[in-house]
Copies of this chain bind each other. A is one copy, B any other.
Amino acid sequence: MQNSKNHGRNNNTAGEEDTVYEISQRCLIIRLGKELDHHNAIGIREKADKYIERYHVMHIIFDFSRAEFMDSAGIGVVLGRYRKVYFIGGRIAVASVGTVIDRVLRLSGLYKIVEKYDSVEIALNKLQKA
């Protein structure tokens, strides 16, 4: 195991470069990396908003399947995107939310305006059918 990793990078930075963006029709899927804090929020906000404008995004899905940490800066990111698409009737969904992230989302009250689904596929189905 150590042999194969040798000379390789020791990937313990969980930066926003980790985040992957996908467009499916007018839906933006944001696949978050390991950590969503203020440091990473800055870049995610910027990139997400570029996608939103360029692709006339209506709905947004946050994929938390790789996420292990989120603080109130992450809540700010979700809320901020909500405000962007709210006026054009867009909806926000979160998918693959683990227990740790779920506690933060619950505590923030975000579930009042955000829909939770088990997977991105289910979320896509629900949002694009509407």
Q: Is A68 engaged at the interface, CB distance under 8 Å to the other chain?
A: yes
B3 touches A98 (CB 8 A): yes
- For chain A, which range describes its interface: under 10, 10 to 19, 20 to 34, or 35 or more residues? under 10
Q: Is A23 engaged at the interface, CB distance under 8 Å to the other chain?
A: no
Partner of A3, one of B2, B6, B68, B99: B99
B68 touches A100 (CB 8 A): no
Q: Which residue of B lies closest to A3 (CB)?
A: B99
Q: Is A1 engaged at the interface, CB distance under 8 Å to the other chain?
A: yes
Partner of A98, one of B1, B68, B99, B100: B1
Other than A2-B68, A2-B100, A3-B99, give 7 A-B pairs with Cβ distance below 8 A: A1-B98, A2-B98, A2-B99, A2-B101, A3-B98, A6-B99, A6-B100
Q: 8 Å CB contacts to B: which residues of A64-107?
A: 68, 98-101
Considering residues A2, A3, A68, A100, which has the most beta carbons from chain B within 10 angstroms of its beta carbon?
A2
Q: How far is the CB of A35 from chain B (nearest CB, A)?
A: 13
